[in-house]
Amino acid sequence: MPVLESRLLHPRRRPELQRRPEPRRTAQPRCKLDTPTRLIAPAHTLSLPTLEGVKDCFEFSLGCDAALPMACALIRRGLLSERHLRNATSPVGAMEAALLEIVTEHFRDAQDEFDVSVCITDRLEDYRRPERVLFFIWSNSPDPQYISLRPVFERLENNPYRDRLMASLYRWLYGAASKVFDAFGFNEAKDVYTWRKEWYTEAQENGEDVDVESEVEASDPAKVVSYIRHSEVLALKDSEAIIAIRSITDERLRSAFANAREIYLAARKIQLPGMSEECRRILDDAAYYMDSSPVPGLGISHWRDDPIVAWFDEFCQDQFESGSSCRAPIILCFRPENTSFFLQIVAALPRLVRTVAALSEWTRFSLELENASNYGDR
C-alpha cells in the first residue's frame, strides 16, 4: 500500500505528500468503445482515495483549523477513536484514517472499474484565494465504461418476460449509475442527436455542404431497440419483478438480475445534503472555468453498433477535443463549521461506495458474457 504523509505547514499552504514508488497499473484489455482511447479529466488538485482496492489514503488540502470541527464531529459519532489517533500527527491524519476505514469496510476487496476518487479541499483552482469553505468532490475516470445488454437479451430467448426484464435491467443499471456519476443512455443520445441535427440543418440552410443523412439520420435514436426506447412503460413493478426474476432458469443470470435490482433500490436511498444559496454561489464562481459536462462514467445500450453508442462516442470525443475542463459529477460546498452538512456526506459515503462496487461487478459480468458470445460483428 502506498504511504501518503500529510505535513501541515502554514495554514494557508497546502500539505505536501510523499509517496513510495509503486508499479504502474497494468492496462486491462479494451472493452469499451473504439474511440476515444483516453479522455482528459479535470485536475482536482489532491485526490482521495482512488477506490481501486482502496489503495490510497485520504488527503486533505486544508489546515488544522478547518479539519478540527469535522474531526470532533466524527468523534461524537463514534467514527473516530483512539485507534485512528494512534499514528496520526494532526486532525487531518486522524480524519484520513477514519474515512479510509469507512471506504475500506464497504468497498471490501472489490475492483473499482470506474477509478472513482474523493477529495476534500479548500479551493478548486490553485490560484484562487480560499474563502473559508470546503469542497467535497467525487469524480470518476476519464475513460468511460460500457455495458452491452445484447448477450443478456439473447440468453433470455425463451423467457416470457424477456422484453420487460430487459427494460427493467436497463432502468435499474442506468438509475443506479446516475446516482454516482453521469450515465449515458437513450435520453442522452436523443439530446445529442437533436442538437447535432439542428446544427447540420442550419449549416445546410446557410449553403454549407453537409450530409445530414449519413452524419445524423443514420444514428437516429428511433432505431434503438424497443425495450430501451419504451423501458419506462415496459419496466416491471416490484411484485412483478420478483416473479419475473424467478422465471430465469440460468442461476447466475438470475442472481445478476436480482443484484441489479438491489443496486438500484439501494442507490435510490443515497441522500447528499443540499447546499445553501451562499455556498451554491461560491461553488458556481469557483467552478467557473469547469465549463464542460462531466465525463460519463457508464454507457448502456443493446449493442456496440446502435445509435446510443454512436452518440456516446461522439459526445466523449467532443469533450476530448474541446480541451475544456470537465466538471466532476458531484461537487458540494460547505463551511468547515457546518459539521451537520459534513456528517450527511459521511453518512452517504457507504452507499456511494457500495453502488460503485456493484456496478463494477456488473460491468465485468457484462464483458464476460460478451466475450463468451463470440460475436462476429464486434
* Range picked from 50-54, 57-61, 349-353 for highest mean pLDDT: 349-353
Per-residue cell: 363 = 460491468
Give the pLDDT score at 209.
81
- Determine the Cα–Cα distance for residues 333 and 276; give it in Å rounded to an integer: 9
pLDDT in tens, 199-252: 888 888 888 887 877 778 889 999 999 999 999 999 999 999 999 999 999 999
Concatenate the DSSP letters of all residues of 259-297 into one string: HHHHHHHHHTT--PPPPPHHHHHHHHHHTTT--BPPPPS
User: How high is the pLDDT of residue 277?
Assistant: 97
Identify the bridge partners of residue 299 per DSSP, sorted by sequence position: 146, 184
Contact assessment for residue 27 and residue 141, using Cβ atoms and an 8 Å cutoff: no
Sequence ranges of the domains in the chain: 1-10+30-378
Query: In percent, how much of the chain has pLDDT > 90?
Result: 58
**Residue-level pLDDT at 5:** 32
Alpha helices in the chain (DSSP H): 64-76, 82-85, 91-107, 150-155, 162-177, 186-205, 212-215, 226-229, 231-234, 238-246, 251-267, 277-286, 307-322, 339-373
- pLDDT tens digits, 94-148: 888 888 888 888 887 778 999 998 888 888 887 677 788 999 999 999 999 999 9
For 245-302, the pLDDT digits (tens) are 999 999 999 999 999 999 999 999 999 999 999 999 999 998 888 888 999 999 999 9
* Pairwise CA distance, residues 90 & 81, whole Å: 14
Mean pLDDT of the chain: 83
Cα–Cα distance between 56 and 317 in angstroms, integer? 30
60: confidence class by pLDDT, cuts 50, 70, 90 = low
How far apart (Å, rounded) are the C-alpha atoms in residues 375 and 352?
Answer: 34
* Block residue for cell numbers 475500506: 104
CA distances from 161 to 27, 164, 251, 378 (A): 38, 5, 16, 27
Indicate the range of 17-31, 75-89, 183-197, 209-223 predicted with least confidence.
17-31
User: 15 with 92: CB under 8 angstroms?
Assistant: yes
Predicted pLDDT at 376: 60
The dihedrals phi and psi of 300, each to the nearest 5 degrees, come to -130, 130
Higher pLDDT, 303 or 95: 303
CA distance 159 to 186: 24
Question: Which of the 8 DSSP states describes residue 125?
Answer: S
- Is residue 201 within 8 A of residue 212, CB to CB? The reply is yes
